[in-house]
Structure 1
Amino acid sequence: MRLPSLRYALLPLSVALLLSACHGKDAASQPGGSTPEAALQASVDLIKAGDFNGLWKHALPPADYANMRADWGHHQQDQRPITAEDRAKFNETMQKLTEPDAENKLYAELQPKLTAMEQQYKDQLPVLISVGEALVKSGVAQSKTLNETQKAQANGVLDVLAPWVQQTPWFDQAKAKQAVGVAVTTARKLDLKDPDQLRSMDFDTSMGKYATGYAGLKQMLMIYGLSVDDTLNSVKLTPVSNSDGHAVVKVDYTLLGKPLSTESKLVQQDGRWYSEDMLDSARKAHQQLNEPAGSASVAADAGTGTVAKQD
């Protein structure tokens, strides 16, 4: 199940880790930050609170935020039609998660499966996780959307997460029962009636649903020993440079007890500071959405007079 325009609303943990922990009120008054550090500090407060609407309103200049809201209803047009099989799977899943006594029914169904999986995969799990880590790192290395700084940070995060995944007791019955309870509670709060609802929600409604899902995800991770809030609270900022409307801030943080570090680039517009990566991503998404379908720019070859399509 994928909510519309996931690229906008579900921020990866790596983005959250670029932001600092602070309790300032800079975001409440106007978009952006009065300083690069204030921009990052205010963003993490909004992430921790699950206020995704507030986050985008803070993280983007007013015109870009307005474009995002205006574009929102058009994103579903690019998605494939919902099939009868999709509807059946959606309805079955939501019924199981929201019916009376769903927690006990789902756990009773899961319990023997966990026992069987533990017997079958416990010894193989470290190898499978290592293979998965290698595949993910290969994908990061080949990514055309991540810059070198982002790739380095992603690999650093993977180096910390992989041992956690290997050591986490995924087959523990008590933890599984807690996780089922969180999944059921979250599904009931989401209150999704059918897959069409996912594609018809307006921006504000979508942000509210994302907040609910995010809160459930944080609870789920906490059951297995990963606290997103602890990581965000550990962030320390150090200014690196600031000139001509561009700034770099060093971000130190702790993930699962392991120290990590990266840098965040910010740009100044109309006297306010914004994350350069987030701003560029939002503008590219808006540009792509508003390009005519199937259009391609044509460039003349000065030497031969031929023309070539440009992506």
Structure 2
Amino acid sequence: MRPFSLRHAMLPLLAALLLSACHGKDEAAQPGGSTPETALQASVDLLKAGDFNGLWKHALPSADYANLRADWSHHQQDPRPITAEDRARFNETMQKLTEPDAETKLYAELQPKLASMQQQYKDQLPVLISVGEALVKSGVSQSKTLSDAQKTQASNMIDVLAPWAQKTPWFDQVKAKQAVGVAVTTARKLDLKSPEQLRTMDFDTSMGKYSTGYAGLKQLLAIYGLSVDDALNSIKLTPVSSSNGHAVVRVDYTLLGKPLSTESKLVQQDGRWYSEDMLDNARKAHLQASQQPETPAGNASSAVTKD
């Protein structure tokens, strides 16, 4: 009787696991989360997958997501004209990255430069990175858009990333060759034809390009020892408080072997939970976009000036 009893005792557990898995997929497919923790976890999962369209769709109420899509052309506008020099530089860069046998050609061009740079900057690089660290920290502390909690979190991350950057073998020939391969593959997948394209892509196209670029960036960082997925996989969420439609969740994670933590504030709307910061930023961006005048066809973003 034991095998039969054990099998039947496992059925409720298996059913619970299956329901939990289905519920997790359902959370990611809906705006917000049924709890503060599921809202955050679904966002983490979508970020890990590089699904930026899905991330925005999940992280914002339906009306705010619709506004984001409708406002996208305003967010893409740049009053600075594209010059002939800009276009020439863009075309040259993309040609080098996408032409046949680009990996071999670029690495052959880079290899002697790496040896020279290693000889010239090997001892100076840690000092330069320290100076950069101080400048970035100063910028964070003086930011008018970051909250005190966000400033603290950014500073803690810089404290972890700076020593990694100082010790990373940036001039290593093998790693550089791998990095060139990733850059070429990513550029080909992006398939960018002109600088104007960067300013005229619709929301869905932009999110697709972001996903491609993000995947390439993660591969590049992994080559030099920084795994974004490892950091995302290490995230643990712990509820801190919840009352009157507001909640706080503690977020613990590991970055480059160092434990870090922060707190995320969430707000409940129509029975679903959303990141308070993301929602506030999205609504401020929508208000700003709605106050901008419509730009007529043939605007400055597509103009060309001659030097």
Normalising by the smaller structure, the TM-score range is 0.7 to 0.9
Asked if the contact 2:96/2:106 (under 8 Å) is kept, the reply is yes
Could you tell me how far apart the structure 2 residues matched to 1:263 and 1:252 are?
9
Asked if the contact 2:182/2:219 (under 8 Å) is kept, the reply is yes
Q: State yes or no: 1:145 paired with 2:145.
A: yes
Asked if the contact 1:27/1:43 (under 8 Å) is kept, the reply is no
Counterpart of 1:181, as a letter, is G
Asked if the contact 1:26/1:34 (under 8 Å) is kept, the reply is no
Equivalent residue, structure 1, for 2:57: 57
Q: State yes or no: 1:259 paired with 2:233.
A: no
Task: Sort the Cα spacing of 1:41 and 1:108 in 2 relative to 1 into closer, same or farther, 3 A.
Answer: same
Q: TM-score, normalised by structure 2?
A: 0.87
Could you tell me how far apart the structure 2 residues matched to 1:133 and 1:243 are?
39
Task: Sort the Cα spacing of 1:29 and 1:120 in 2 relative to 1 into closer, same or farther, 3 A.
Answer: closer
Map residues 154-233 of structure 1 onto 2, 5 A cutoff. 154-233=154-233
Could you tell me how far apart the structure 1 residues matched to 2:292 and 2:63 are?
21
Equivalent residue, structure 2, for 1:300: none
Equivalent residue, structure 1, for 2:115: 115
Equivalent residue, structure 2, for 1:248: 248
Report the Cα offset of residue 284 of structure 1.
0.7
Note the aligned Cα RMSD (angstroms): 1.3
Could you tell me how far apart the structure 1 residues matched to 2:202 and 2:92 are?
25
Could you tell me how far apart the structure 2 residues matched to 1:292 and 1:87 are?
27
Could you tell me how far apart the structure 2 residues matched to 1:223 and 1:27 are?
33
Counterpart of 2:291, as a letter, is E
Equivalent residue, structure 1, for 2:135: 135
Equivalent residue, structure 1, for 2:48: 48
Identity %: 84
Could you tell me how far apart the structure 2 residues matched to 1:26 and 1:159 are?
37
In our comparison, the structure showing a higher alpha carbon Rg is: 2
Equivalent residue, structure 1, for 2:83: 83
Equivalent residue, structure 1, for 2:270: 270
Could you tell me how far apart the structure 1 residues matched to 2:136 and 2:200 are?
33
Post-superposition Cα deviations, 1:20-52, rounded to whole Å, max 9, x if no partner, equal: xxx921334420000000000100111011100
Report the Cα offset of residue 76 of structure 1.
3.1
Equivalent residue, structure 1, for 2:72: 72
Equivalent residue, structure 2, for 1:3: none
Post-superposition Cα deviations, 1:169-210, rounded to whole Å, max 9, x if no partner, equal: 000000000000000000000001111111111110110000
Post-superposition Cα deviations, 1:233-254, rounded to whole Å, max 9, x if no partner, equal: 0011110000000000001100
Equivalent residue, structure 2, for 1:19: none
Structure 1 regions of 5+ residues with no counterpart?
Answer: 1-22, 294-311
Q: TM-score, normalised by structure 1?
A: 0.86
Asked if the contact 2:29/2:58 (under 8 Å) is kept, the reply is no
Equivalent residue, structure 2, for 1:299: none
Post-superposition Cα deviations, 1:127-158, rounded to whole Å, max 9, x if no partner, equal: 11110000000000000000000000000000
Count of residue pairs brought into register by the alignment: 272
Could you tell me how far apart the structure 2 residues matched to 1:292 and 1:110 are?
44
Counterpart of 1:172, as a letter, is D
Asked if the contact 2:27/2:34 (under 8 Å) is kept, the reply is no
Task: Sort the Cα spacing of 1:28 and 1:128 in 2 relative to 1 into closer, same or farther, 3 A.
Answer: closer
SS in 2 for 1:87: helix
Asked if the contact 1:97/1:187 (under 8 Å) is kept, the reply is yes
Compare the two structures and name the one with the higher helix fraction: 2
Counterpart of 1:209, as a letter, is K
Could you tell me how far apart the structure 1 residues matched to 2:111 and 2:248 are?
50
Could you tell me how far apart the structure 2 residues matched to 1:245 and 1:84 are?
53
Could you tell me how far apart the structure 2 residues matched to 1:256 and 1:217 are?
16
SS in 2 for 1:144: coil
Could you tell me how far apart the structure 2 residues matched to 1:148 and 1:84 are?
43
Equivalent residue, structure 1, for 2:33: 33
Equivalent residue, structure 1, for 2:297: none
Asked if the contact 2:28/2:46 (under 8 Å) is kept, the reply is no
Post-superposition Cα deviations, 1:248-306, rounded to whole Å, max 9, x if no partner, equal: 0001100000000100000000000000001111111111111156xxxxxxxxxxxxx
Could you tell me how far apart the structure 1 residues matched to 2:227 and 2:79 are?
33
Could you tell me how far apart the structure 1 residues matched to 2:67 and 2:127 are?
46
